Every structure is written in structure tokens, then in C-alpha cells.
Copies of this chain bind each other. A is one copy, B any other.
Amino acid sequence: MAQSKNDVMFQVGIVGANGYTGIELIRILDRHPNVSIKKVFSHSTAGQNLADIYPYLKNKYPLTLDTFNPNTVADLDMLFLAVPNGTSHQYMKTLLNHPNLKIIDLSADFRFKNVKNYEKYYKVIHESPNLLPQIPYGIPELYRKEIKSAKACSNPGCYATSVILGLYPLAKEGKITGSVIVDSKSGVTGAGRTLKESSLYCEANESITAYQTGIHRHLPEMEENLGIKLLFSPHLTPMNRGILSSIYIENKQNLTKSQILEIYQNYYGKEPFITLLTDEKMPTTKYVKGSNSCAINIQVIEDKIIIFSAIDNLIKGASGQAIQSMNLMLGLKETTVLDTLPLYI
């Protein structure tokens, strides 16, 4: 395995490099000792130099944004697709035909085993449903083995990551037999860089807003991977980064807190990116901001289990997790470049 910038071996490309997940991939990969960003693509800003949009990149990445053509990336080792939903299903087949290329899709197109969930929630007829079984859902804490050997991987939704990591040990152990309510709060980067009124500073600032209660597109990802039903209620929160999911579970099996902690310890005790907080510590997105960690806090109050799960939506909820999967797929150490402390402030 390479040890320094001098031994770089993997050439990567990024489609959608001009969006928030795109520049976050660039920001993190820039420190990666085994990766070199070779090509950047963008539909909306093709022809511009990346540094025209993000001037701080000018001396480091004098790359021109090209229109993406899936036929011309065979020479890359890894391609990140930070593209709109409903796009990558059209060319994944072409990409899979390049013998040396591996792919991580950050869109929703390959997140589902059940194509009907995709088609119902995204209103798109999937062109390659036959590819779904071979493309693992990219949460390494759940599917590490599958990701390691995959040629393509589908990076989860940000809300879904926070909720699935928060609930997985309990769900997997069959401890959730009652109702589950998930009240999530996300920073505004979750909406991307697209121009829309609800993303304007003056609209989002100084206000908190519930939206798409019970109908958000990340719900079916959660239900597929957890094997349980949820009520999912997202909220737009006035901050750039961070998701806090507050999860309320009917404690039908009367689990004690120490029983639950033991289960989580078993699942996550050796996970480098999961921090189990004892409950006197406040569950907050500050503790994970700028890092690839997921901070989980568990409480038992009367007849409910309450789990708080906090991530940085742009890192563990998007670009960081994608790089975690990339490390696995390229045979690198899983934590490479990702084992940094949070910013806190």
C-alpha cells in the first residue's frame, strides 16, 4: 500500500465536481496519499475551469470541467458520480464495461434492491434494474464485505445514513417490534447548490421548517436496509452542515439501557467511525462537524428507547462515506484520509 504522495497510484474522476458533494470529494481526496484527481465533469458548467467557480483551487486544480461521456473514462481507476437522481441508471451499464474502472454513485439510482421503491419515490423508470443486485449499498458498517469486492457501489442518502446507523444493531437483533418515529434535522447543504426559494439565505435563516413528513425519498432506503417500518419526519435547520436524527422507539421488549449498550458495543465497538456517547453528553452535530464520524447516544425513558444519531451530512452522509467505500474497493486502509477530528466550531 502506498505510503506517501510520491507513490500515488489511483486516478480518479468526478462527475458533478461543481456541486457541494463534488467539492467536498475534492477537498478530502486532496489529502489522500494514494489518489490523484485526473478528470472533472459537469453538465451545467462544462467548459469552465474549476477554479473559476472555486478560486481557492486555482493553483492546485487547474482542471477544466468537461461534459461527461461514459465512453471516455476507461483509463480511470475510480469514478465518482455526484449527479442528479435519474441520471446514472442510464449509463451505469456502459461504465461497468470498462474493465479497470470502479464506480461510486452518489445519486439514488442504485440504492434499492427493490426497484419499485425507486420508481415509486423518484418517478423514473429504471433502465437497468438487473444491475441492482450486484451494486452494494455503501454503508461499510453494514456491508463492508460486499463493498470490498464490488465493481460499483451506491452511496446512501444523508438522512438514511444517520438513521440506519442509529437503528441497525437493534433492528438486526430483532429488538424493534413496536413503532418507530424518526425526527431528523438537517443543515441546508442537504438541499445542494440548486437554485430554489427555500434554499435562499433569508428563507432558511432564523427559522426551522418541517417538510415532506412521511413522504421523503430517503425513507424507503431506511426501510429496505433495516427491515422495519418507520415514520420519517425531516426538518430544515438553519446551519450549513449536520444531521441530528432523534429516534423514538417503542420499547416493547422492555430492554434496559445496559442491554442496549451491549448490543451497540458488539456491533460498533471496533468501528473507527462510530462514537458511542454515554448519555450525560449532549447529542449534538457539533461533535461530528467536519468529520466522517457518526455519534450515537442511547437513552431509555419510560416505555421508549431514544437514539440520537449525529453525522456531518456532507461527509459521513455523502463524500466522506463515498471515500470510505473507495478505500475498501481499492484495497486501501479504510480510514485513510478520513480519521480526522471534528472541527467542533
Residues of chain A at the chain B interface (Cβ within 8 Å): 3-4, 20, 23, 26-27, 30-31, 54-60, 179, 181, 183, 185, 187-189, 193, 195-197, 199-211, 213-214, 231, 233, 235, 237-242, 244, 246, 248, 250, 275, 277, 281-291, 293, 295, 297, 299, 301-304, 306, 308, 314, 340-345
Contacts and interface: CB of A to CB of B under 8 A. Distances in A.
Nearest to A211: B282
B240 A301 contact: no
Contact of A203 (B57, B233, B286): B286
Q: Which of the listed residues A239, A250, A285 has the most CB atoms from chain B within 10 Å of its own CB?
A: A239
A327 to B, nearest CB: 16
A209 B56 contact: no
A56 B275 CA distance: 7
Contacts of A246: 183, 210, 233, 235
Given A207-B239, A248-B248, A287 B20 contact: no
Nearest to A232: B301
Given A203-B286, A210-B244, 14 more contacts: A3-B3, A20-B202, A55-B287, A56-B344, A59-B275, A179-B303, A199-B202, A201-B201, A201-B204, A208-B244, A209-B283, A214-B299, A214-B301, A237-B237
Contacts of A206: 187, 206, 239-242, 286, 289, 345
Contacts of A303: 179
8 contacts: A3-B3, A31-B340, A55-B275, A56-B293, A185-B185, A195-B195, A233-B306, A314-B345
Contact of A341 (B30, B207, B299): B30
Q: Which of the listed residues A235, A297, A342 has the most CB atoms from chain B within 10 Å of its own CB?
A: A235
A7 to B, nearest CB: 11
Given A54-B344, A238-B239, A284 B213 contact: no
A345 B241 contact: yes
Q: Which 4 A-B residue pairings sit nearest by Cβ, starting from the closest?
A: A209-B284, A214-B301, A207-B286, A183-B183
Contacts of A283: 209-210
Q: Which of the listed residues A179, A187, A302, A341 has the most CB atoms from chain B within 10 Å of its own CB?
A: A341
Contacts of A179: 250, 303-304
Contacts of A195: 195-197, 200
A219 to B, nearest CB: 11
A341 B56 contact: yes
B202 A189 contact: yes
A282 to B, nearest CB: 5
A195 B213 CA distance: 26
A86 to B, nearest CB: 22
A237 B240 contact: no
